[in-house]
Amino acid sequence: MKRIVEPAKEIPVAEECDICIIGGSCTGVFAAVRAARLGAKVVVIEKMNSFGGVATQGLVNYWHSQYDTEFKKQIAAGMSLEVVERLGKRNAVAEIKECPHKAFMFNSEELKIELDEVVTEHKNIVPFLHTHFAAPFVEDGKLKAVFVENKDGRQAIKAKVFIDASGDGDLAFRMGVPFVLDDFLQPPTTCAKIRNLCPEGVNYYETVKAHYEEFGLEKDCGWSGEIPGCKDIRMYAETHVFNTNASDARQLTNAEIKGRRQTRAIMDIFRKYAPSENMILLSLASYIGIRETRRFAGEYRLTEEDVLEGKSFDDTIANGSYRVDVHNKENGGFLFKYLDGRQENFTFFGMEKGRWRPERKVNPTYYQIPYRTMVNRKVDNLIFAGRTVSTDKAAFGAVRVMINLNQTGEAAGVAAFQALDSGKKVCDINITKLRETLKSGGSILL
């Protein structure tokens, strides 16, 4: 690649703060709120026009269960529950009683407004929307600021501690935190809200199976779900853009275009072979939903065995019960591995049941995420939260759902405050105090 030299120039410092967070999904927002509630001045940088990430801009409107796999023991609460309660006051969330592991479906548009409220209620949070993290500023070997780009041009945000909640780990990447980028990455999906796509009495999968080739689609399948109060509107996540590395600019561009074309093709199948009078594309996700890109190396890498055997850790900051769920490389669908040894593989061709291990009398009912998956000694003052936490591929398949990642956000906020308050490196904070502070702020720690 040809190179040119960018001339050096002075950059205005837009804000000086205690903690700077890159990325404003619930992960980033919850980190900001937990740190602000402890007294820190926090800046959140979000490149889109709202908070919420995949849950709002990506249209993905399901949070899974806050209970263990038997629905007996509550294993999570904190800000996820706070936000669910707030949405409840506006009829913008519904509990899914018939499928308790799915737990909550919400209205993504209402969540955008609710997160605005949550952020602006905290006067010591300075939000920046439409603001893109561009590069880190390192002086004397220490991360001192980040450069951002927005309507005001290029600016710097100075902070003492940083949280990377950007999904792809853009800051961690630029700081040289080691990562792996697998040859097979779980494929991304363009989500869409469509009214009356599949008329009553018509089988969605049989219709798509019969005609996918005519409309240039591959063998594929995913899932769809309702939106509270909108019986005729569903959120579709039925296709995948296979073989995509969404952390590569050109591949991401192609995936966006292909993902939208897939949505049109699905609609065209129904237009031709099972038309309904008032089928309408109501909205497309603002960006393609990215499942997996770089997996960073933390001080500990959570493994498939840790998850499926429910290993407990002294530095646990989150609990989860969502199964291992890895979207397939081809033929659509996903491979589920449950904590009780069952396995299900959904593909274009149907569903195969089996076991990944023999039956046992006693099974784990939840797993844990340790704080050490969120830090790497390479950078003293950087915590990663959200899908940047350190896991192996299969563990990532379980950890990556929002009910889990929201907890990592909360933990990052509290840990960042503690590092600031104690003057310690993020790797060396007092874990007992971290867990106690999380608990007293509403988190469940087991």
Ligand X SMILES: Cc1cc2nc3c(=O)[nH]c(=O)nc-3n(C[C@H](O)[C@H](O)[C@H](O)COP(=O)(O)OP(=O)(O)OC[C@H]3O[C@@H](n4cnc5c(N)ncnc54)[C@H](O)[C@@H]3O)c2cc1C
Residue 67: CB atoms within 10 A of its CB come to 18
Contact track, ligand X, 110-149, x by CB under 6 A = ----------------------xx----------------
Distance CA 371, CA 243 (A): 32
Residue (127 or 188) nearer to ligand X, CB: 188
**Interface residue with ligand X, options 191, 339, 431, 434 (CB under 6 A):** 191
Residue (274 or 307) nearer to ligand X, CB: 307
Q: Torsion angle of alpha carbons 363, 369, 372, 376, nearest 10°? A: 120
Residue (175 or 202) nearer to ligand X, CB: 175
Distance CA 70, CA 426 (A): 35
Distance CA 145, CA 158 (A): 4
| Residue 63 sits in the site that holds ligand X (CB under 6 A) | yes
Contact track, ligand X, 288-307, x by CB under 6 A = -xxx----------------
| Residue 165 sits in the site that holds ligand X (CB under 6 A) | yes
Task: Give the H or E element holding residue 259.
Answer: helix 249-273
Distance CA 40, CA 284 (A): 37
Does residue 318 sit in helix, strand or coil? Answer: strand
| Residue 323 sits in the site that holds ligand X (CB under 6 A) | no
Residue (63 or 336) nearer to ligand X, CB: 63
Residue (61 or 418) nearer to ligand X, CB: 61
- Which spans in 38-96 are helix H? 78-88
- Which spans in 150-248 are helix H? 170-174, 204-211
User: Phi and psi dihedrals of 250, rounded to 5?
Assistant: -75, -40
Identify which range of 9-17, 23-31, 93-101, 419-427 contacts ligand X by CB under 6 A: 23-31
Identify which range of 107-115, 163-171, 208-216, 372-380 contacts ligand X by CB under 6 A: 163-171
- Share of the chain residues as helix, strand and coil, in percent rounded to the nearest 5: 30, 25, 45
CB of 210 to ligand X, least distance (A): 25
**Interface residue with ligand X, options 189, 244, 328, 345 (CB under 6 A):** 189
Contact track, ligand X, 228-267, x by CB under 6 A = ---------x------------------------------
**Interface residue with ligand X, options 46, 164, 256, 306 (CB under 6 A):** 46
**Interface residue with ligand X, options 274, 400, 407, 438 (CB under 6 A):** 400
Q: In what order do the strands lie in the sheet with 334-337?
A: 324-327, 334-337, 342-347, 350-355
Smallest CA-to-CA distance from 406 within 18, 149, 103, 200 is with 103
Residue (398 or 420) nearer to ligand X, CB: 398
Residue (170 or 315) nearer to ligand X, CB: 170
Residue (80 or 381) nearer to ligand X, CB: 80
Amino acid (1-letter code) at residue 321? S
Encoding tokens for residue 282? 């109501």
Residue (104 or 270) nearer to ligand X, CB: 104
Does residue 56 sit in helix, strand or coil? Answer: coil
CB of 362 to ligand X, least distance (A): 27
**331 and 219 in contact (C-beta within 8 Å)?**
yes
**Interface residue with ligand X, options 386, 395, 443, 445 (CB under 6 A):** 386
CB of 57 to ligand X, least distance (A): 6
**Interface residue with ligand X, options 64, 193, 295, 337 (CB under 6 A):** 64
Residues in the chain, overall count: 446
Q: How far is CA 48 from CA 15, 22, 45, 53, 264, in A?
A: 19, 12, 9, 8, 24
Residues in the interface with ligand X (CB under 6 A) total 35
DSSP state of 367: E
Interacting residue ranges for ligand X, rule: CB under 6 A = 22-25, 27, 45-48, 53-54, 60, 62-64, 132-133, 165-167, 170, 188-189, 191, 237, 289-291, 386-387, 400-403, 405
